[in-house]
Amino acid sequence: MRIITFGTYDLIHIGHINILEKCKNFKGEENTLIVGISSDEFSFFKKQKYPIYSQEQRKKILESLIFVDSVFYEESFEKKRDYILENKADVFIMGDDWEGKFDEFNDICKVVYLPRTPSISTTEIVEVIKQK
């Protein structure tokens, strides 16, 4: 199966690793995992701040992970349908914090929301670093 997922993936942490690994092994199979990372400009649009690592650095980090097969830049929410179709994805997986937000794509692929790793996020990591 061809699995697609999206994210910013700034300050890669165990939560990112867990969900990417779950995507790769979805339904107990060795799937092809395609990852869309938010471009720097799209990240700024979504969060009103730029990622700590540039899009090129984040892409290189993700490409180095054994369970990630390919990485591309996501430029906008509006292009998600195009990204799914261009990559011939069978399944679109996101964390359950996005539950229901991408159900419109069930007409072109299966949409799945997986549980996030509890008590970890890039925002929380940044706050801990600021406090130290």
Q: Which residues in 84-132 belong to E strands, given as ranges?
A: 91-95, 110-114
Note if 49 is an active site residue.
yes
Task: For 54-68, give one letter per residue: b (16+ CB within 10 A) or e.
Answer: ebeebbebbeebeeb
Note if 46 is an active site residue.
no
CA distance 21 to 52: 23
Task: Find the catalytic residue in 22, 24, 46, 47.
Answer: 47
Three-state DSSP class for residue 5? strand
Task: Find the catalytic residue in 49, 79, 88, 101.
Answer: 49
CA distances from 76 to 27, 32, 40, 43 (A): 29, 23, 11, 9
Query: Which of 36, 40, 45 has its CA nearest to residue 85?
Result: 36
Residues that are catalytic: 47, 49
